[in-house]
Chain A
Amino acid sequence: MQLIFNALIAGSLAALIAGGLSLVYGTLGVFNMALGQMVLFGGYITWFLHIQMEIPLLMSICGGALFGALLAWFTFEVFVNPFYKRHRFLPLVTTIALSMILDGLILIIFKSSPKGILQGLKNSVEIFGAIISTEQIALIAFTILILCSFAYVLHSTSIGRKIRAVVQHPQAAMSLGIRSPQLHRLIFISSGVLASFGGIFIGIDQNLSPVLGFPITIKAYAAIIAGGRGHFWGAIICAYLIALIEQLVVGIPLLPGGNYIPAGYQHSVALFFIIVFLIFKPTGLFCSRLRTA
């Protein structure tokens, strides 16, 4: 039961990040390799506002999310928009460059020591024999709330239908008069806000560390590849699935003699997902066919 709760927590974090990213990948078809650093910046800014500036937590979270939106906007205008129409792989290179710049900035500004947004001991409760902190319960509830809000926007509003139209057939959407470039910008900024919430999630649940950026990016991409290009719910379900398998791989004795696989190998699950799906099911679990532009 503890493993399932752990998977629920880790999956909620991955789902937040992968959900936004799936829309970006679905609409623009580009890789944002600076995603992990955008996640970290959201967390670090919240930490800075709350711990250093002593601003109340809720306002600090809003500040972190706002910074995430601005960083995503800047990234889109400078590192993505001028390049992705020339070739969709160009932003792969430009955002790798951005990730290096952001990594450097994180080290210079926030240093390498771990940073926690909430300090002191956390209250824990026991549910079905598993120990879970009240903060973790709040984070899971918050993730569900955010995802439900996104679901409402995507499925029940005009802007949501337009986003789904652009994801599914960009040329047909434009031929109906939908202005894809504006939607691309909006989607990219939304993914930045979700990424920031992911960073805030890490900062509240654990500690922020500069080395977390790359594994976060890989896990998010594994979820969207397994879920199917541009499939919002597919990415979210696969984020939870990857998190569950990660927990099971290191949480139950799989090696001879009742030994456990070292925890460091946890991150290889996401890479394994990417390799397996690209070879055997490139359309992902929830898309019936590869989209042709």
Chain B
Amino acid sequence: MPILSTNSLSLEINGQQILKEVSFSIEKGEIVGLIGPNGSGKTTLFNVLSGFLKHTDGKIDFEETDISEVSAPKRAQMGIGRVFQNFGIFREMTLEENVLVALESLPKEKRGEINNLKEKTKETLEFIGLANRAKEKASSLSGGQMRLLEIGRTLASGKELFLLDEPTAGVSPKMTNDVSSLIRELKDDGKTVMIIEHDLPFIAQICDRVFVLDVGSIVLEGDPQSVQHDVRLKEIYFGADPTN
């Protein structure tokens, strides 16, 4: 049974079709990559899935519930987590506060399952290797550490589906490995991950399946290797070869 599925999802803004009948489904525990040229609608699709943008047509199901009319905070409380391209951390808050506020924002029944919020915060920071900087402001972290904090915070708040928007953007090659390991640990933990990325080797290394989005439509789908070697991928990014 898919954890997330969309059916003919479309979005029109000011007469312009941004998403065109996007249909896909993701199984629980999968890591799915979403690639495509700039302006193809990847982040817009994430914004629609997170509830920041309201689609104009179609349907979104999360854990067999239609969430088309559900607000962004409610979707988050249902278990959809989001990691932002421009770092969605609270820079003027300490690392400890960044995690604590995520736990405090859980719905009552989920919060009740955590015995001690401070203890859980400490465990989370230990898990991502930043426990020794708990009292420091998040603005003092490097790009990679910010990304670890953001993913760790989302994990601590019990999300089931992770929408990661370019998790390696602004991250050093060494920290990219740490981010990659953390994403694998999410999968081992039974979580579902959808990743927007421009780094194709990273996608090939980590994803079970890849969707290619172009001009608002899914034009290619398959395992990373077959998509990477598909001649249409080159055409999508660089245009058709005029000598052919």
Contact = CB atoms under 8 A, between A and B. Distances in A.
- Counting contact residues on chain B (CB < 8 A from A), the size range is 20 to 34
A174 interface: yes
Contacts of B71: 179
Interface string B114-158: 000000000000000000000000010000000000100110010
Contacts, number: 78
A115 interface: no
B2 interface: no
A172 B84 contact: yes
Contacts of A171: 52, 72, 82, 84, 88
Interface centre among A165, A174, A175, A288 (most CB of B within 10 A): A175
Contacts of A180: 73
B93 A164 contact: yes
A175 B104 contact: no
Among B50, B104, B154, chain A packs the most CB atoms within 10 A around the CB of B104
Contact of B90 (A168, A288, A292): A168
B220 interface: no
Given A164-B90, A164-B92, A164-B93, A175 B101 contact: no
A160 to B, nearest CB: 10
Contacts of B153: 176
Interface string B2-39: 00000000000000000000000000000000000000
A168 B100 CA distance: 15
A28 B104 CA distance: 22
B105 A172 contact: no
Contacts of B91: 168-169, 288
Nearest to B163: A175
B86 A177 contact: no
B102 A176 contact: yes
A158 interface: yes
Contacts of A178: 73, 101, 105
Contact of B104 (A162, A172, A231, A292): A162
Interface residues of A, number: 20
A248 to B, nearest CB: 31
B106 A175 contact: no
Contacts of B157: 176-177
Given A161-B100, A162-B105, A175 B76 contact: yes
B73 A169 contact: no
Given A168-B90, A168-B92, A175 B81 contact: yes
Interface in A26-65: none
At the interface, is chain A mostly helix, strand, loop or mixed?
helix
A164 B154 CA distance: 18
Given A169-B91, A176-B76, A177-B77, 17 more contacts: A158-B104, A161-B93, A164-B90, A164-B93, A165-B101, A169-B84, A169-B89, A171-B82, A172-B89, A174-B76, A175-B76, A176-B101, A176-B154, A178-B73, A178-B105, A179-B73, A180-B73
Nearest to A159: B104
Contacts of A174: 51-52, 72-73, 76
List the 7 closest A-B pairs by CB distance, nearest first.
Answer: A172-B88, A175-B82, A177-B76, A177-B77, A177-B105, A168-B90, A161-B101
A231 B139 CA distance: 15
B93 A175 contact: no
Interface in A8-41: none
Nearest to A166: B90
A231 B92 CA distance: 10
B208 to A, nearest CB: 24
Contacts of A288: 91, 139
B97 interface: yes
Nearest to B88: A172
B73 A177 contact: yes
Contacts of B106: 177
B190 interface: no
B227 to A, nearest CB: 28
15 contacts: A158-B104, A161-B100, A161-B101, A164-B92, A165-B90, A171-B72, A176-B101, A176-B102, A176-B105, A176-B154, A177-B106, A178-B101, A179-B73, A231-B92, A288-B91
